[in-house]
Copies of this chain bind each other. A is one copy, B any other.
Amino acid sequence: MKVYIEPIGRLINEFSKLPGVGAKTAQRFAYKIINMKPEEAEAFANAIINAKSKVKYCSVCGNFSEDDICDICKNRSTESICVVKEPKDVIAIEKLNEFNGVYHVLHGTISPLYGVGPNDINIKELLSRIAKGGVKEVIMATNPDVEGEATAMYITNLIKPLGIKVTRLAHGIPIGTELEYADEVSLARAFVERKTL
């Protein structure tokens, strides 16, 4: 039985494609759109088209960019390169206001299980950036999971022989948690990597 009229059904279907959005939530989103003013709905639709057409990837680091080269690559020293899996990781780190170097976005991690090898992610682009000289430190900021660790290790083995300092984000128990509730792997890691005070 046809419950929704076509334009609503179609919109619900589109919203269902978003991550974590089920039928009920998609329906709520669709109602919200229908209750918007026409110019609001138009602004929404335009933002989608606009983002899709204007957002490119920086030809140097692979981060999101409106231009051929992103603002970070344009304005910052290339002494430190922070290697991340995805553009959203750049944003997570930028929010900290801690790091003043540039990034390199791999657009994936090595994952034999899913058939992703070293040549499928932007590793050789990283190597050619380093080959240009001036890089003093490469910070491996891939996710602390199996693929992230393996990728960090793989890249480290390629770069270290070049005499460049390679670092990895520290692992351990997250700030603010109670020891009792920390996951065992992180706790074990925190023990192994304990530091002298």
Interface residues of A (CB under 8 A from B): 1, 3-8, 10-11, 13-14, 17-20, 24-25, 27-34, 36, 38, 40-55, 64-66, 70-71, 87-88, 91, 94-95, 97, 181
Copies in the complex: 2
User: Would you list 10 pairs from A and B whose C-beta atoms are within 8 A, ordered by A residue?
Assistant: A1-B94, A1-B95, A8-B51, A11-B47, A17-B32, A33-B48, A34-B64, A38-B53, A45-B48, A45-B49
Indicate if the CB atoms of B7 and A51 lie closer than 8 Å: yes
Chain A at the B interface: SS class: helix
The answer on a CB contact under 8 Å between B5 and A47 is: no
Which of the listed residues A18, A40, A52 has the most CB atoms from chain B within 10 Å of its own CB? A52
Q: Which residues of B contact A30 (CB under 8 A)?
A: 51
Contacts of A27 in B (CB 8 A): 88, 91
Interchain CB contact under 8 A, A19 and B8: no
**Of the residues B10, B54, B70, contact of A7 by C-beta under 8 Å:** B54
Given A10-B50, A48-B41, CB of A91 within 8 Å of CB of B33: no
Chain B proximity of A170: nearest CB distance (Å): 23
Choose among B1, B7, B53, B97 the residue that contacts A50 (Cβ–Cβ < 8 A): B7
**Are B88 and A11 touching (Cβ within 8 A)?**
no
Query: Are A44 and B14 closer than 8 Å at their CB atoms?
Result: yes
- Complex-state Cα separation, A10 to B50, whole angstroms: 9
State the Cβ distance, A1 to closest chain B Cβ, in Å: 6
